[in-house]
Amino acid sequence: MKDEVRSILNHLRPRDTFELSEYGFDLDSAAAAFAAPCVLAKTFAHGGAAQAVVTFHALTPRALAVSLMATCHWPRVARAVLAWGVRVARPSLLSLGFERAECRTLEGHADAIRFLERLGFVRECRVPHFGATGASFVQYAWRLNDHVPVQSTQSPTTATTAAPA
């Protein structure tokens, strides 16, 4: 996995590169962080190369920090990441006794925010002046025991036009 992570980090989307720098990470420190012992991790490939990595690191006995970094080929693996998150990651983390996964992303990182919300993460707060140069972030949490919202499992059109139960 180490080589796959390094390959992803060497080909990051521009927004992910900026986000890493706001965290104060260069590529070497980011590679070390992703390689640190974690509870759950997976890389996703397309075209014979790793395109995204997701890691869950323990914060407390019940909470995790989740990270995702991707290349410009993210759209080609996004559905696989979403399916893995719902079908594999969430049940696995629950079975290990975790109740919460949280992450922060740059305010305005539309792709990341949209993905988090589709997965069932809930926006908790804005974190102003969090980044190295003062960039604001938003914090999201995946409350693993919560019911996954309908709109995170359906297309936006279906979710907004579905008849009430």
CATH number of the structural domain spanning residue 46: 3.40.630.30
Asked if residue 112 has pLDDT above 80, the reply is: yes
Mean pLDDT to the nearest integer, 22-42: 90
* 47, 73 Cβ separation under 8 angstroms: yes
Q: Does the residue 117 lie in any domain?
A: yes
pLDDT band of residue 147 (cuts 50, 70, 90) is low
> How confident is the model at residue 2, as a pLDDT?
83
> How confident is the model at residue 153, as a pLDDT?
41
28-42, 43-57, 72-86, 123-137: the lowest-pLDDT one? 28-42
Structure tokens at 23: 């965290």
Does pTM top 0.95 for this prediction?
no
* 124, 164 Cβ separation under 8 angstroms: no
Q: Please state, rounded to an integer, the average pLDDT across all residues of the chain.
A: 87
Distance of alpha carbon 79 from the chain centroid: 13
Residues 6+ apart with CB under 8 A from 81: 44, 52, 54, 68, 115
- Separation of first and last alpha carbons in the chain: 45
Q: Cα-atom radius of gyration of the chain, to the nearest Å?
A: 16
33-37, 48-52, 151-155: the lowest-pLDDT one? 151-155
Asked if residue 165 has pLDDT above 60, the reply is: no
Asked if residue 160 has pLDDT above 80, the reply is: no
Mean pLDDT to the nearest integer, 59-64: 95
Q: Does the residue 160 lie in any domain?
A: no
Structural domain count, the chain: 1
Q: Does the residue 163 lie in any domain?
A: no
Residue-number span of the structural domain to which 52 is assigned: 2-155
Q: Does the residue 161 lie in any domain?
A: no
Q: Does the residue 93 lie in any domain?
A: yes
Give me the percent of the chain exceeding a pLDDT of 90.
72
> How confident is the model at residue 157, as a pLDDT?
39
- CA 50 – CA 8 distance, rounded (Å): 6
